[in-house]
Amino acid sequence: MRSTGVGLGQLLLALDTTVASLIEAPRGLDLPVASAALVDSDDVRLGLATGADSADVFFLLGVGDDEAQRWIERQPSPAVAVFAKKPSDALVARAIAAGTAVVAVDPRARWERLYRLVNHVFEHHGDRGDPRYDSGTDLFGLAQSLADRIHGMVSIEDEQSHVLAYSASNDEADELRRLSILGRAGPPEHLKWIAQWGIFDALRASEDVVRVAERPELGLRPRLAIGIHQPAVDARRAPVFAGTIWVQQGSRPLADDAEEVLRGAAVLAARIMSRLAARPSTHALRAQQLLGLVDGGPVDVVAIAGELGIVADGNAALIGFDAIDRHARLPDVLALSANAFRADAQVAARGSRVYVLLPQIAKIGSLTSWIRGTIAALRSELGLRLRAVIAAPLTGLAGLPAARAEVDRVLDSAGRHPDSIGEVTSLAEARTTVLLDEIVTMVGADERFVDPRLRDLQAHHPVLAQTLRAHLDSFGDVGAAAQQLHVHPNTVRYRARRIEKLLSTSLADPDVRLVLSLGLRAIERSG
């Protein structure tokens, strides 16, 4: 993703040496970075990897040294930096020769955690320059301020013990802190001990500070912890547990008033987390504006595109994903896949739906392959079932709100009738199905639009109603209707004559057939 940019040195300071450390920066640390992209081995091998002109820093996921060196050599202009786990001397030398900085990532770090942290730095750097989003919404800033104030190492976690922010670490950070920041689960013996002593229960049940004693045999240093609690929607209910602030003590004693300050920090953290949940980041807000997901009238497409670092013209593509199975982190998961596919991909979400915008797309075939592969991977790895609708090609970005509305129409229709639309479809492929569904829905919503004789036929002669539906769907082809109903053609002819007599109408009249067909569908749906 793109923002106004930060210096490479600023980015590395924000990430902390627990996660990443600089090996060499041949062009210095002041180069601006505003976008990140993922490159994996298959991307390089198949020639699908994004180029250095589409992002500033690249994460090399499982890319071998030889492949990485070839990728660096092929770039027409050097990337600002590459991030790799255990980069070899040969890779470092090749990157330096090309003018690209090399950053070593801790082998235990999760790439998705690093990707989110980097994007947080990009987004929040932009927020600080926007008076609408003041520094009171920065969990990283709160963590560092608290660490400076009480002389400890701070981490802030959500209710599921995922680290949201942390202060700078030093060589006194214990294993539990390091692994938590890297996105890995804490050592089982540590977590088991903490759980056995009822620390997690105490944090959830109380707003008091909890002291965690040192355990030298586990390499666990002393800690303070406090639960983050937010007011319940119903004032009569107890506050809702939202996360934890942990303070690991080093060799320096914590401040005398550490517990009092920590209680204030918990209040601020609850307030910040509430704000973050209530509004998107600046970058996400811009993407939502392009798609017409927020109110506010017409937008300056060219200006927003420039702010996001994407082109406003050319053929674009919009993909709407709808989650059949709920997953709280679906936008983040899809963002990882989308930005691995294209560094300029933009992601926005609303409810169970996630929208991926690709500003420039040349081949729809490769796009469809990526979508199917992503859906299959998420089903296999996370047990998620997704449905996707493609709107492409779109001429420029000005028509995105209208395209997004059309995508929503298809997803709405698929939600009502899951079997009517495939797992991956396009607006063109689904148009007839969607229009018919919407028309039948409107007909069924007002009983005046359904011929009452059809309701009587369905109620008193269900076999004749079934025959009428088959006859209409077969365009009067008696043989085809008979085959569908598994009866003799003469039986269909006899029933058709009875239907015409009961309804006092002729099935040869095209207007009659249209009204009866829509009415039958509406009745079947309501039934």
Give the per-residue pLDDT at 225. 94
How many Cα atoms are found within 13 Å in the side-chain-facing hemisphere of 37? 21
What is the domain extent for residue 482?
446-525
Taking alpha carbons only, the member of 145, 150, 143 closest to residue 164 is 143
Whether residue 412 is found in the same domain as residue 317: yes
Task: Copy the structure tokens of residue 97.
Answer: 């020769």
Instruction: Say yes or no: 426 and 307 in one domain.
Output: yes
Q: Given 66, 90, 124, which residue is the final one in a domain?
A: 124
Residues 151 and 93 in one domain: no
Same domain membership, residue 226 and residue 176: yes
User: For residue 21, is it within any domain?
Assistant: yes
Residues 432 and 456 in one domain: no
Quote the pLDDT of residue 72.
87
Instruction: State how far the alpha carbon of 230 is from the alpha carbons of 134, 143, 242, 265, in Å.
Output: 21, 18, 7, 13
Residue 441 lies in a domain: no
β-sheet with 163-166: strand ranges across:
163-166, 153-158, 240-248, 223-230, 210-212
Collapse the DSSP code of 113 into the 3-class scheme (helix H, G, I; strand E, B; otherwise coil) and give the result: helix
The whole-number pLDDT of residue 133 equals 38
Q: In the chain, how many domains are there? A: 4
CATH no. for residue 376? Answer: 3.30.70
* 272 & 384 share domain: no
Q: What is the CATH number of the domain that holds 257?
A: 3.30.450.40
Which residues share a beta bridge with 224? 211, 247
pLDDT of residue 328: 60
Helix (H, G, I), strand (E, B), or coil: what is residue 486? coil
Q: Give the pair of three-digit tokens for residue 268.
A: 């601020």
Give the model's pLDDT for residue 132. Answer: 37
Q: Specify the CATH number for the domain of residue 24.
A: 3.40.1390.20
189 and 334 inside one domain: no
Residue 134 belongs to some domain of the structure: no
Please check whether residue 132 lies inside any domain of the structure: no
State which of 254, 278, 302 marks the end of a domain.
278
Shared domain for 167 and 235, answered yes or no, is yes
Q: What is the mean pLDDT of each run of 10 residues along the chain (527 residues)?
A: 68 82 92 85 63 76 86 86 92 94 90 80 54 52 87 89 82 84 68 79 90 85 93 72 93 90 89 74 81 80 84 88 76 78 84 89 81 87 86 89 90 80 84 76 81 85 89 86 90 89 87 85 77
215 with 267, same domain: the answer is yes
- Does 133 reside within a domain? no
Cis bond leading into 452, ω under 30°?
A: no
CATH number at residue 491: 1.10.10.2840
Please state, in angstroms and rounded to a whole number, the distance separating the CA atoms of residues 68 and 86.
Answer: 12
What integer pLDDT is reported at residue 99 of this predicted model? 94
User: Are 507 and 420 in a shared domain?
Assistant: no
* Residues 428, 450 share a domain: no
Is the same domain home to 246 and 296? no
Note the pLDDT of residue 46: 60
Q: Is residue 100 part of a domain?
A: yes
Domain boundary among 252, 278, 304: 278
Torsion angle, alpha carbons of 477, 481, 486, 490, to 10: -50
| Residue 407 included in any domain | yes
Query: Is position 1 within any domain?
Result: no
**pTM listed for this prediction:** 0.51
